[in-house]
Amino acid sequence: MRRVYLDHSATTPVRPEVVQLVNKYLTETFGNPSSVHAFGREARKGVETAREQIAALIKAKPEEIFFTSGGTEADNMAIVGTAMANQTKGKHIITTQIEHHAVLDTCKSLIKQGFEVTFLPVNPDATIDLELLKSSIRDDTILITMMHVNNEVGTILPIKEVGQIAKEKGIIFHVDAVQSFGKLPIDVNEMNIDLLSASGHKIYALKGTGCLYIRKGTKIAPLFFGGSQERKRRPGTENVPGIVAFGLAAHLAGQEMEAEAERLTKLRDKLIDGILEKIPNVQLNGHRTNRLPGHVNVSIRYIEGESLLLMLDMKGIAASSGSACTSGSLDPSHVLLAMGIPHEIAHGSLRMTLGKGTTEEDVDYVLEVLPEIVEKLRSMSPLYNSMKLENNEECSKCTQKR
């Protein structure tokens, strides 16, 4: 059976060039970068090359890149580290309602420690209102933390404009760029970004590796103590294979960015147009054009996203749903709800994220299989059949009242 992986926003396979390099660093160049002998020096060289490769991709200086265990740690370090180092200046943080939980939950943890957090609402297409942002800024605002691309719906946020506002007000600006790093051009200077999180496993490198870019002069406290690695900002023996993998993957992503963005945008639009054309009662979630190449999120009315995922899986198609039902809760995703999508529509959400291995044949296969599955599911749905489907329907699955 055909196997089609359309969940690249969740994770990616490791690309062959990276596998080869990792193998070398696991078996030959296995030294501790802090050691003075040749084994150590060679490992150190690998780490520093990776630092240069990653810095180059976002127009930063190598010494501004700090390796972490992934995007989640980088987000924690950026937010808690800034809060701890700047709390005498103020205790107010601004973020959005559609952030990844690595940002949302970190901000929430600070509320318990006496910080105040403004969670900005978003427009129906997941973009933000810059005037609202401006009016939310206070004298005691120390940090704005905002994602570049939303992982669930693919919308690109106006990072450059927000960076300008943050700079004018002297507020530290953190960007969770895990979904855009290596896929969209980023210039930390032009965009006035002070802190930026990225992750290896979203760009064909290893899980458990990421980095935080820290602009020189930005006040930030470390989360960990215990050694002088990463200039004491992130002590602990470096994950050398993971770091060199991340570096090479970033380098290759930079080389391929333009061509791959063009290719994926075409495939994405073919998939979106095909779905909208072949399946009635479907809506696209997120911005139509200002979205990540390769990112599709649709709500298919009168079906459950979970059943849809299972049926797609049986046909060899790996996608993800727009609800958090898999995590045990029956509530739809906080992102879709923040966009104002009603529960019953959010429940029928489907995210398909394309990547390096995705071909036009894959898209054709989905466009052949998906309409059949939707028709089958709808034919079994009492909701669909009884046609009590207008605006007053209730969301029987949700624990929350609408």
Ligand X SMILES: *Cc1c(COP(=O)(O)O)cnc(C)c1O
The catalytic residues are 325
Nearer to ligand X, 294 or 371 (CB): 294
Q: CB 96: neighbour CB atoms within 10 A?
A: 24
Nearer to ligand X, 42 or 75 (CB): 75
Q: Are 94 and 145 spatial neighbours (Cβ–Cβ below 8 Å)?
A: yes
Rounded distance between C-alpha atoms, residue 220 and residue 199, angstroms:
20
Nearer to ligand X, 145 or 229 (CB): 145
Nearer to ligand X, 74 or 337 (CB): 74
Nearer to ligand X, 158 or 371 (CB): 158
**Which residue has tokens 């193998």?**
23
Q: CB of residue 42 vs ligand X: minimum separation in angstroms?
A: 27
Q: CB of residue 75 vs ligand X: minimum separation in angstroms?
A: 6
Rounded distance between C-alpha atoms, residue 312 and residue 325, angstroms:
17
Per-position DSSP letters for 106-129, written without gaps between them: HHHHHHTTT-EEEEE---TTS---
Q: CA–CA distance from 177 to each of 93, 119, 183, 376, 397 (Å)?
A: 18, 18, 10, 38, 33
Measured from each CB, the residue nearest to ligand X is 71
Q: CB of residue 11 vs ligand X: minimum separation in angstroms?
A: 8
Where do contacts with ligand X occur on this chain (CB under 6 A)? 70-72, 75, 100, 102, 147, 151, 176, 178-179, 199, 201-202, 210
Q: CB of residue 209 vs ligand X: minimum separation in angstroms?
A: 8
The C-alpha angle with vertex 247 and arms to 265 and 221, in degrees rounded to 5, equals 105
Report CA torsion sign: 254, 164, 288, 341: positive
Q: CB of residue 230 vs ligand X: minimum separation in angstroms?
A: 17
Sheet containing strand 349-353, strands side by side: 282-284, 295-300, 349-353, 320-321
